[in-house]
A and B are shown apart, each in its own frame.
Chain A
Amino acid sequence: MTRLSLALLLVLVLAALSLVTAQHRTRQGFIELTAQQDVSRKLDAEWRELQIEAQTLTSGKRIGEKARSALGMQVPDPKRTVMVVIPPPGAVAQGAR
């Protein structure tokens, strides 16, 4: 009877300890999860901002304006254009530049 009680007491102590450890691990895991979610949110926000920036910088409007004003580019008139026609075997002719 005493021996059984002692054995059960030992099991109880072990179970209690493992519960404490498990709880501790859960909390640590949760903290880690929250931290990673934060990182993910920050990266997502950064990605969105970069997308907006990229689109603002590469918008057709801005590139057109830069090409015309800063670089002084213009569309060549047909007189100065040489059309290169590549006779493709069966495919559609390309080459309007």
Chain B
Amino acid sequence: MRNSGKTLEHSLRLKLDGSRARLVLLLCLALFAVLAVRAFILQGVNNDFLQAKGEARFVRVVEIPASRGAVLDRNGKPLAISTPVESIWASPADFSADPEQFARLAQALGMARDQLAEKFADRTKTFVWLKRLMPPDQAARVIRLGLPGIFQQREYRRYYPSGEVAAHVIGFTGVEDQGQEGIELAQQALLAGAPGARRVIKDRKGRIVEDLENLRAPREGRPLNLSIDERLQSIAHRELKAAVEANRAKGGALVMLDARNGEVLALVNQPDFNPNNRAQWNPKSARNRSVTDTFEPGSTFKPFAVSAGLEAGLVKPQTVIATGSSLSMGGHSITDSHPHGQLSVAEVIQKSSNIGTVKIAMQLPAERLWALYSDLGFGSVPRTGFPGEASGRLRAARTWRPIEQATMSYGYGVSVSALQLARAYTVFTNDGVLLPVSFLKREGEVIGKQVFSRETARTMAAMLETVTQAGGTATKGQVPGYRVAGKTGTAYKLVNGEYADNLYLSSFVGYGPVSHPRYIMAVTIDEPSAGKHYGGDVSAPVFSAVMAQALRLQGIAPDAGLREAQARPASVAGEIPQKAIGKDRG
């Protein structure tokens, strides 16, 4: 086409060739067709990739936090409970503030200015925690400053309303809601919820502008009913703490079981810690001694060997044994701290004679005693699921030397935990059946293991009752109005492989009321140093105080007879019990 102005007017008037117009039209249509095909390929065939690219710019999956299940005591009282709190985080890349705003932010967060500046040091980061687990109102103040790049995130904080009272049983969680100790750790899977997720559209500043869909609903953690009774727990805590302080002891432990089904009703340790205040926490006080620490039990171990003697028909309660002043065995001599002369088997238990116990135990084969100790749960973990459960030490029978068989019968050369010891005493409250222990509330019948015959268990139970009566080693373990039974122990502590002269572990294991046993309690006081060290003087009073309050609380009828209880003096102190202690091999 010529392009001069002179010919334009002329050529417009010309009737153009129709085929050329059609060609142009065709070309135009062809171009549209190419566009249509391309559009179809992009939107219809190959759209996943592009859609993903697009969404990656504004669609986010955010987590919906789930709360951790509460830990409740057997009556439904909360022992650990989570409440929502806010955590503040920042995106340094999006953050900007003038010095004055920065100062206000630091103040609202309760942080030093240079400390806060450090968090923003790397301006390329898009996520940094500023402060976690703040009370919601305080967090709201931070958000109200309206600074760009500052956000809040809902989290849960764990509270322990009973504080140090139940600290060792429950343990605690870390900042990420992970159980660190105790039940919190043992039952993590059950307590922890599963966070949900939802898909949202966020703008450039990270604000949610539209909710697209719920991907997963959060699954809240399940609440957990423990076997612990908060009231008994606080009584036990108070009495044990008082006793540890009064005796200037290094520590102490108390385990209380339900004598009928082996549930742990109370478990306290000294020293303790406050799980709500992690600042003063140290691993030493956080240790649950009654479950994770073992010790040589001393005389509280005697009833087992003596029961084996009764079971085998070797002795009867009235059988008289000459205890003399010492018994020599393979170059070692076994003594009673107070010579007793002639004692019946019942008196061997009542007065805690080492020699008498050894004379019974040596009549039995080592394998038999080993099987007995093993059946009673010593040397293996109690399988409560509690983290760090100790198995204690019980060596195989074929490695025993005779002197070891002898010392083991009165509790040296074996090591046990307070929980194991308390559990072993269930055989005396359940006609010879050893019950499994549990930190969780039990439903229905419990299946135990027959260790002794019913007759043997009852005979020993009757002997154990004499321990708390006049002439026994634990008159301070008496509970006015009730019949209680038990056994004292005063063990020398092993220090660097030698028995120390003045370090003791004083213990008492007992139960009550004797007619229908409800509670079994093991009390150990570690290194009492205020003058008294016999188990009957140090630990038995704790047993008495806790047992008296527990029985009264539960409204259990006194079984010791009315007049007897009222005639008895209010104080049982003054009588000096004779306690035999064992010290061998040096």
What is the bound-complex CA distance between A8 and B163, given in angstroms? 74
A 66-94 contacts with B by CB, 8 A: 75, 77-79, 81, 83, 85, 92-94
Cβ of B230 < 8 Å from any Cβ of A? yes
B 530-586 contacts with A by CB, 8 A: 548-549, 551-552, 555-558, 562, 565-566, 568, 570
Q: How far is the CB of A45 from chain B (nearest CB, A)?
A: 5
Among the listed stretches B96-104, B231-239, B337-345, B453-461, which one makes contact with chain A, having 4 or more residues with CB under 8 Å of it? B231-239
Known: A41-B84, A48-B82, A52-B81. A83 touches B165 (CB 8 A): no
**Binding site of A, secondary structure by majority: helix, strand, loop or mixed?**
helix
| A59 and B555 contacting across the interface, CB-CB below 8 Å | no
| B480 and A77 contacting across the interface, CB-CB below 8 Å | yes
- With beta carbons under 8 angstroms apart, the residue of B82, B165, B562 that contacts A59 is B165
What is the bound-complex CA distance between A52 and B161, given in angstroms? 6
| B162 and A59 contacting across the interface, CB-CB below 8 Å | yes
Cβ of B275 < 8 Å from any Cβ of A? no
Cβ of B77 < 8 Å from any Cβ of A? yes
**Complex contacts, B79 vs chain A, CB 8 Å:** 55
| A59 and B161 contacting across the interface, CB-CB below 8 Å | yes
| A64 and B83 contacting across the interface, CB-CB below 8 Å | no
**Complex contacts, A95 vs chain B, CB 8 Å:** 557
- With beta carbons under 8 angstroms apart, the residue of A44, A64, A96 that contacts B557 is A96
Cβ of B136 < 8 Å from any Cβ of A? yes
Known: A78-B481, A96-B481. A61 touches B562 (CB 8 A): no
Cβ of B196 < 8 Å from any Cβ of A? no
How many A-B Cβ pairs are below 8 Å? 85
- Contact string, A19-48, partner B, CB cutoff 8 A, digits 1/0? 000000000001000100000010011001
| B557 and A45 contacting across the interface, CB-CB below 8 Å | no
| B84 and A51 contacting across the interface, CB-CB below 8 Å | no
| B211 and A30 contacting across the interface, CB-CB below 8 Å | yes
Of the listed residues A41, A45, A96, A97, the one surrounded by the most CB atoms of chain B closer than 10 A to its CB is A96
What is the bound-complex CA distance between A83 and B562, given in angstroms? 7
Cβ of B195 < 8 Å from any Cβ of A? no
**Complex contacts, B556 vs chain A, CB 8 Å:** 96
A 5-28 contacts with B by CB, 8 A: none
Cβ of B89 < 8 Å from any Cβ of A? no
B 198-240 contacts with A by CB, 8 A: 211, 230-231, 233-235, 237-238
**Complex contacts, A49 vs chain B, CB 8 Å:** 83
B 40-60 contacts with A by CB, 8 A: none
| A93 and B557 contacting across the interface, CB-CB below 8 Å | yes
Cβ of B499 < 8 Å from any Cβ of A? no
What is the bound-complex CA distance between A93 and B516, given in angstroms? 12
A-B contact pairs, 10 of them (CB 8 A): A34-B211, A52-B78, A55-B81, A55-B162, A61-B234, A64-B238, A75-B549, A78-B481, A79-B566, A83-B558
Chain B residues within 8 Å of A, Cβ to Cβ: 70, 77-79, 81-84, 136, 159, 161-163, 165, 211, 230-231, 233-235, 237-238, 480-481, 548-549, 551-552, 555-558, 562, 565-566, 568, 570
